[in-house]
Amino acid sequence: MKPYKLAAKEDKKHNTIISISTDTGKVMIGQGYHVLIAGPCAVESADDFLQLALFLKEEGAHILRGGLFKPRTSPYSFRGLGMEGLDIMLEARRITGLPIISEIMDYRDIELMYDAIDILQVGSRNMQNYSLLDELGKLKKPVLLKRGFSATIEEWLLAAEYILDGGNNEVILCERGIRTFETYTRNTVDIGGVALVKHLSHLPVLVDPSHGTGRWELVTPVAKAAIAAGADGVMVEVHQEPDKALSDGRQSLNKDNFKLLSRSLRELALLENRIV
Amino acid sequence: MKPYKLAAKEDKKHNTIISISTDTGKVMIGQGYHVLIAGPCAVESADDFLQLALFLKEEGAHILRGGLFKPRTSPYSFRGLGMEGLDIMLEARRITGLPIISEIMDYRDIELMYDAIDILQVGSRNMQNYSLLDELGKLKKPVLLKRGFSATIEEWLLAAEYILDGGNNEVILCERGIRTFETYTRNTVDIGGVALVKHLSHLPVLVDPSHGTGRWELVTPVAKAAIAAGADGVMVEVHQEPDKALSDGRQSLNKDNFKLLSRSLRELALLENRIV
Amino acid sequence: MKPYKLAAKEDKKHNTIISISTDTGKVMIGQGYHVLIAGPCAVESADDFLQLALFLKEEGAHILRGGLFKPRTSPYSFRGLGMEGLDIMLEARRITGLPIISEIMDYRDIELMYDAIDILQVGSRNMQNYSLLDELGKLKKPVLLKRGFSATIEEWLLAAEYILDGGNNEVILCERGIRTFETYTRNTVDIGGVALVKHLSHLPVLVDPSHGTGRWELVTPVAKAAIAAGADGVMVEVHQEPDKALSDGRQSLNKDNFKLLSRSLRELALLENRIV
Amino acid sequence: MKPYKLAAKEDKKHNTIISISTDTGKVMIGQGYHVLIAGPCAVESADDFLQLALFLKEEGAHILRGGLFKPRTSPYSFRGLGMEGLDIMLEARRITGLPIISEIMDYRDIELMYDAIDILQVGSRNMQNYSLLDELGKLKKPVLLKRGFSATIEEWLLAAEYILDGGNNEVILCERGIRTFETYTRNTVDIGGVALVKHLSHLPVLVDPSHGTGRWELVTPVAKAAIAAGADGVMVEVHQEPDKALSDGRQSLNKDNFKLLSRSLRELALLENRIV
């Protein structure tokens, strides 16, 4: 038996499909569906976020992303608007009807975020923050668990196991690139790992090609690769003016490129018989 | 200016397309074409190789691969049939009309291999064997240059530069997975690197998902990912009875799975507007 | 200027020396001193821990280590005695007069651990748990910050910067091996990194050769290498019966080997003009 | 049984000691001896090399190094003086009485180098160049085999096995740093690997801290660490004017620092009961 007994496919006849209700319907995440999550790295201002949200909705995004708390390597970098940004995200959800996802770094924020956010994201640096995983395991709320940037597949599935073992079975895995010796790209998307995790586990698996490559011109090819390899969807960073982004501008798509991405992925997902 | 001035895209208006003539036509490798190279890791016996070659031809392979000299980590492992296998490959070329590719490890073999082999392959361990690269640079013969398993993209392009600078401009790049901390897969296919090299260089770029993953069940998803990310084709290992292969059986497709792979790639390549 | 402005050597004329008072004197950590921290991976029982503590004291250990909360990759592994074990550690401190160090994984434990523990340790997996670092920055208590197993030196110093920037300037760095492709050892001790961090920063730098190698027979040679390279001390795991340890037995020294280690290090430290 | 049966310690009662005769005596390499190899990265001019050689001899070097053929990542970099430099090295050997070591990249050079060079070095990039290893296995001449920059310890010992299996049992292993994610240093010296290889094999093991760190200020601490961890000696790059070196100036010691290094290592080797 695998050490990750709840995450392993062998114990489930069916793949886990996560359904998120919205005012206008449902978004499904998992085997057989295609999901596209998009938004800026960080929520920076109300006007920009709302305008962008409407655009993303129109162009085919299923879920809105936006960072409130940004884990930053340096204490002197912009660390996000925090709870101030939450109202902006809620307004975006109201006007677009799209579910929202944001990163949680500290379990003290669960109380405030629980009602507002549809999917709580655990970032790469916190994949083995077991106190946080233990608390998320107690919730009834989908959790998107990013792979640690140097976590093996086994460690990643065991981190998911912490949440599942706590009683929360709505875990979404997200590959976001691993750290290697290569320096031309920010990280190395482990595309074989994506195919393998789909093979080993019943959980939905997404890919984040924005962090995974760190270069906007590689986001679309790698997003397409993800869908072709069997990922259940992708999460990408989009910014109205990438050059002016307070974080991660180098890896953000502009609106025109997002439009092209969305269409390419849709075609590919249809070829793969996914519900788009 | 990039340090790899001949390999860089900026110096060429057009992408390099390599054309290989056969009795029955031409095989084209490069931007806009889809190429599928297939065959066993090593040539083991005449009957098996010829039978498999006919099958691969029928199922859509464009080029036959087969190892004559196998670089093996241990001196005690099977090191290939050597020149004995060459007649078998030539016979396979004759009966199928397909071009053949095989690895060259030692420049003393150039004389014998030059007339017989359509594409000379430089393996991952020899990517920085500069004596070999210098000799290959003097030939008029396509060279498939595998990425070193720990080479950066810059080092890979500079290795190509050795061959180009010698006067041979028919270089095909092939990503075959890099070495990382992950142990569930044999190597980690750098799919973002594939997209990046297509962006940086005018040379054709292929992917070898067999060595890239080391697990046959991941070969098809990763091959599809390669095509979706912009690779100009893939090279895969196929064996009639993978369990009995003298090397690399674990990562070889059987015939049924090759058939499925070939069809999936063709569909995908058509969606991407490639000539298949 | 370096991005880690408080951790960088350029801003301090003197190296940081941390002084820990005990009933019987002081333990000094930093440039010019030699410190040896020893104890079992986890506190398992009172009798064993106290007996071992007396032995370690007699054989030259300056500080006692013992895990109360163990971050474990799998939720099903032994996770430590938690606060139950704290009384055992306090008793060991009382009878030996040695300061004690233990890992903190959750800032909710600060209240209970603050008075009892002399040095709070941040484990490798939590090096970028910024919520925890922020809380530790508010304390007046030495913090031993282990390098993340895949953190660059810059990221490590920036993690220290979080604590320093919060107002706590008693940070001790500890290299514990990084993750590489090598599988014969659990991790790869970055000995050049140790020398470099001593060069870049005024903070004390220790090495943990137990986690760093994962094999007890390599602990002494690597500990000696650490001192020779300029580290201010080492932290090692010792167990009375390594074969019966609930965690990390493979990398724990037995008593006889600890005795040899302690003497070798002392000789070496004297050669390097350290106060032992 | 280990896959590297000839390199493994279990098959030899005694460690391999390699003895190199000179006009004035013998240099011994292996367990119980301390050896210091020094010289510039590349032989650049007769005057400089001879002057430096006399200095190195006086300051305790046992063997002179100097590159004739430089494997360079780019075909446009300085690739060494080649055979032109050989006469300079021979003259240095004559006036100092020290044995000389130089890298061989191409087996066609064996004929010319065989009589002149005391130790043939296989560089990191050629560790798995099996054609070269096979040829070196046929000689009666010590071979210093550098670890590939991404080779596992098992692969390294198996590369030695190629030479041993050919009949040449005078193999010296040399750790020169492995490739990791860290960018502050050129490579990461695997100090635990050094201790482990001494444990697994009867062959002499040296360390090259110049390539291992890429920064001259780290050469001495890492060289000391190597000796403390059990290495049988070190090989370092020294240049009269590092700033003007045609290659690797950044990692070369100047004369003053070499003098300090040599003395520190001697003291340390004596503490470790080595014959210096």
Convert B102-165 into a string of H (helix), E (strand) and C (coil). Answer: EECCCHHHHHHHHHHCCEEEECHHHCCCHHHHHHHHCCCCCEEEECCCCCCHHHHHHHHHHHHH
Q: From residue C59, how far is each of A32, C220, C223, D254 by CA, in Å?
A: 63, 15, 16, 42
CB D56 within 8 A of CB D38: yes
Residue B260 with chain A: CB contacts under 8 Å: none
| C-alpha separations of C102 from C38, C63, C84 in Å | 11, 11, 13
Sorted by sequence, the CB contacts under 8 Å of residue A43 that are 6+ apart come out as A49, A66, A67, A68, A80, A81, A85, A88, A89
Interface residues of C toward D, Cβ cutoff 8 Å, are 150, 152-154, 177-178, 180-185, 187-196, 198-199, 209, 212-213, 215, 217-218, 221-222, 224-230, 267-268, 271
Between CA A128 and CA B238 the distance in angstroms is: 39
Q: How close C184 gets to chain B, by Cα (Å)?
A: 12
For the cut 80, the answer to whether the pLDDT of residue A164 exceeds it is: yes
Question: Mean of the per-residue pLDDT values for chain B?
Answer: 95
Taking every pair of Cα atoms in chain C, the longest distance, rounded to a whole number of angstroms, is: 52
The two three-digit tokens of residue A271, written as one number:
């070829």
The residue assigned the tokens 């300090």 is: D260
Nearest to C126 among A129, A149, A161 (CB): A129
Chain C residues near residue D182 by CB distance under 8 angstroms: 152-153, 178, 190, 193
pTM for the predicted model, two decimal places: 0.96
Task: Tell whether the torsion through CA atoms of B131, B135, B138 and B144 is positive or negative.
Answer: negative
CB contact under 8 A, B179 and C181: yes
> Cβ–Cβ of A128/C125 closer than 8 Å?
yes
User: D253: part of which helix (H) or strand (E)?
Assistant: none
Among the partner residues B73, B126, B130, nearest to D71 by beta-carbon distance: B130
**In 3D, which of A228, A218, A208 has the Cα closest to residue A268?**
A228
Output the furthest CA–CA distance in chain D (Å, rounded): 52
pLDDT at A253 over 90: yes
Mutate to test the interface with A, among D73, D150, D181, D182 (most CBs of A within 10 A): D181
- Whether residues D158 and B128 touch (CB distance < 8 A) is answered with no
CB contact under 8 A, A184 and B193: yes
Residue count of chain C, please give it: 276
**Residue A37 within a domain:** yes
Residue % of chain C over a pLDDT of 70: 99
Q: Using a CB-CB distance cutoff of 8 angstroms, which residues of chain C are in contact with residue B149?
A: none
Least confident segment among A39-48, B176-185, C243-252, D92-101: C243-252
User: Which region among B118-122, C68-72, C186-190, C238-242 has the lowest average model confidence (pLDDT)?
Assistant: C68-72
Q: On the CB side of B74, how many CA atoms lie within 13 Å of its CA?
A: 11
User: Residues for chain D: how many in total?
Assistant: 276
Point out the residue among A154, A188, A229 whose CB comes nearest to the CB of B188: A188
C81-102 residue pLDDT tens: 988 899 999 999 999 999 999 9
Please judge whether C181 and D224 are an interchain contact, meaning their C-beta atoms are less than 8 angstroms apart.
no
Nearest residue to B209 (alpha-carbon basis) of B275, B156, B265: B265
Q: Which one, of B98, B117, B115, lies nearest residue B38 by Cα?
A: B98
- A154: which chain B residues are within 8 Å (Cβ-Cβ)? 184
**Distance between alpha carbon B125 and the CA centroid of its chain, in Å?**
14
CA count, 13 A, side-chain hemisphere, A136: 34
Residue B209 amino acid letter: P
CA closest to B135 among chain D residues: D106
B266 exposed, middle or buried (CB, 10 Å; 0-12, 13-18, 19+)? middle
Percent of chain D at pLDDT above 90? 89
Q: Which domain holds residue D226?
A: 9-270
| Banded pLDDT at A223 (limits 50, 70, 90) | very high
Max mean pLDDT range (A69-83, C77-91, C140-154): C140-154
Percentages of chain B per state (helix, strand, coil), in multiples of 5:
40, 20, 40
| Count of C-beta atoms within a 10 Å radius of residue A201 | 25
**Confidence tier at C154 by pLDDT (50, 70, 90):** very high
pLDDT at B84: 87
Q: Is residue B157 part of a domain?
A: yes
Residue A30 falls inside a structural domain: yes
Contacts of A268 in chain B (CB under 8 A): 228, 268, 271
The length of chain B in residues reads 276
Mean pLDDT of A92-119: 95
pLDDT tens digits for D134-187?
999 999 999 999 999 999 999 999 999 999 999 999 999 999 999 999 999 999
Contacts of B271 in chain A (CB under 8 A): 267-268, 271
Tens digit of each residue's pLDDT (9 = 90 or more) over B71-118: 899 999 988 898 889 999 999 999 999 999 999 999 999 999 999 999
- Residues of chain A with pLDDT > 90, as a percent, come to 89
Neighbours of B55 (CB within 10 A): 17
Residue C84, classified by CB atoms within 10 Å of its CB into exposed (0-12), middle (13-18) or buried (19+), is exposed
Q: How far B64 CA sits from the closest chain A CA (Å)? A: 24
Chain B, chain D: beta-carbon pairs less than 8 Å apart: 62
Q: Report the gap between the CA of C106 and the closest CA in chain A (Å).
A: 6
Q: Provide the shortest C-alpha distance from residue C229 to chain A (in Å).
A: 25
What is the token pair recorded at A224? 């397409």
Q: Where are any strands of DSSP class E within chain D?
A: 18-22, 25-29, 35-39, 63-65, 100-103, 119-122, 143-146, 171-175, 205-207, 233-237
By the 10 Å C-beta count (0-12 exposed, 13-18 middle, 19+ buried), B141 is classed as middle
- Binary contact (D180, A183; C-beta < 8 A): no
Band the pLDDT of D58: cuts 50, 70, 90.
very high
Q: Is D74 helix (H, G, I), strand (E, B) or coil?
A: coil
Which residues of chain C have a CB within 8 Å of the CB of A130? 71-72, 75, 105, 125
Residue B52 lies inside a defined structural domain of this protein: yes
Predicted pLDDT of residue C12: 61
Q: Which residues of C touch D267 (CB under 8 A)?
A: 271
> Given an 8 Å threshold on Cβ–Cβ distance, is D191 in contact with C195?
no
pLDDT value at position B249? Answer: 87
- Residue identified by tokens 């984040």 is A208
Which pLDDT score is estimated for C11? Answer: 60
The number of beta carbons lying within 10 Å of the beta carbon of residue D82 is 13
B192 domain residue, yes or no: yes
* pLDDT value, residue A12: 61
Quickly state the pLDDT bin for B218 (edges 50, 70, 90): very high
Measured CB to CB, residues of chain D less than 8 Å from chain A are 150, 179-181, 183
| Chain B residues touching D146 at Cβ < 8 A | none
Give every CB contact of residue A52 below 8 A, 6+ residues apart in sequence: A39, A40, A238, A239, A240, A255
Return the number of CB contacts < 8 Å for A and C.
62
Q: What is the pLDDT of residue A11?
A: 59
Helix, strand, or coil (residue A71): coil
Tokens of D252: 């070369």
* Owner of token pair 């053929």: D69
pLDDT at A75 over 70: yes
Question: DSSP character for B250?
Answer: G
Chains that touch D (3 or more CB pairs under 8 A): A, B, C
Confidence band for A151, pLDDT divided at 50, 70 and 90 = very high
Of the candidates B36, B48, B37, B47, the one whose C-alpha atom is nearest the C-alpha of residue B239 is B48
Select from D71, D108, D158 the Cβ nearest to the Cβ of B73. D158
Using CA atoms in the order B19, B21, B27, B32, what is the torsion angle rounded to 10 degrees?
30
∠ CA A70-A76-A80, nearest 5°, is: 25
Q: What is the CATH number of the domain that holds D18?
A: 3.20.20.70
> ipTM higher than 0.85?
yes
The encoded tokens of residue D110 equal: 């064996």
In a domain, residue B1? The reply is no
D202, D12 in Cβ contact below 8 A?
yes
D102, part of any domain: yes
C-alpha to C-alpha distance for B276 and B254, rounded to whole angstroms: 22
Interface of D with B (CB under 8 A): 3-4, 71-76, 105-106, 108, 125-126, 128-131, 149-150, 154-155, 158, 161-162, 165, 179
Report the residue of chain D nearest A178, measured CA to CA. Answer: D181
- Most confident range (mean pLDDT) of A82-96, B80-94, C259-273 is C259-273
Domain count, chain D: 1
Q: With 90 as the cut, is the pLDDT of residue A249 above it? A: no
- Which residue from D72, D149, D155 is facing B73, i.e. has the nearest CB? D155
Residues of C in contact with D271 (CB under 8 A): 267-268, 271
SS3 C189: coil
Please give the pLDDT value at position B11.
60
Residue B3 lies in a domain: no
Model confidence at B189: pLDDT above 70:
yes
Q: Which residues of C touch D215 (CB under 8 A)?
A: 192, 196
Which residues in chain C have Cβ-Cβ distances shorter than 8 Å to A162? 75
**pLDDT on residue B12:** 61
Determine if residue C39 is left, alpha or beta; phi over 0 gives left, psi from -120 to 50 gives alpha, anything else beta. left
Average pLDDT over residues A113-136: 96
Question: CB under 8 Å to B112, separation ≥6 — which residues?
Answer: B83, B86
Q: Which of C106, C154, C161 sits opposite A131 (nearest CB)?
A: C106
How many CA atoms does the CB half-sphere of B65 hold within 13 Å? 26
Chains in contact with B, where contact requires at least 3 CB pairs less than 8 Å apart: A, C, D
pLDDT over threshold 80, residue B180 = yes
Q: Would you tell me how many other CB atoms lie within 10 Å of the CB of residue D56?
A: 28
Q: Which residues of D touch A181 (CB under 8 A)?
A: 150, 179-181
Residues of D in contact with C182 (CB under 8 A): 152-153, 178, 190, 193
Contacts of A247 (CB under 8 A, 6+ apart): A41, A42, A67, A70, A72, A77, A78
Q: Is C144 helix (H, G, I), strand (E, B) or coil?
A: strand
CB contact under 8 A, D268 and C218: no
Cβ contact (<8 Å) for B188 and A192?
yes
Chains with at least 3 CB pairs less than 8 angstroms from chain A: B, C, D
Q: How far is CA A224 from CA A34, A35, A267, C268, in A?
A: 12, 13, 10, 57
In angstroms, what separates the C-alpha of A194 from chain D's closest C-alpha? 22
Chains near C with 3+ CB pairs less than 8 A apart are A, B, D
Q: Could you tell me what percent of chain C has a pLDDT over 90?
A: 88
**CB atoms closer than 10 angstroms to residue A10:** 11
Give D132-136 contacts, CB < 8 A, sequence gap 24+: D132/D104, D132/D105, D132/D106, D132/D107, D133/D159, D133/D162, D133/D163, D133/D166, D134/D162, D134/D166, D135/D107, D135/D110, D136/D104, D136/D107, D136/D110, D136/D163, D136/D166, D136/D168
Predicted confidence at residue D11, as pLDDT, reads: 59
pLDDT digits (tens, 9 = 90+) for C216-249: 999 999 999 999 999 999 999 999 999 998 888 8
Closest-CA distance of chain D to residue A116, Å: 38
D196-234 per-residue burial string, b: 16 or more CB within 10 A, e: under 16: bbbebbbbbbbbbbbbbbbbbebbbbbbbbbbbbbbbbb
Cα dihedral value D113, D117, D120, D123, nearest 10: -80
- For residue C265, what is the nearest residue in chain D, using CA coordinates? D228
State how far the Cα of D25 lies from the Cα of B36, in Å rounded to an integer.
62
Task: Name the helix (H) or strand (E) containing A234.
Answer: strand A233-237
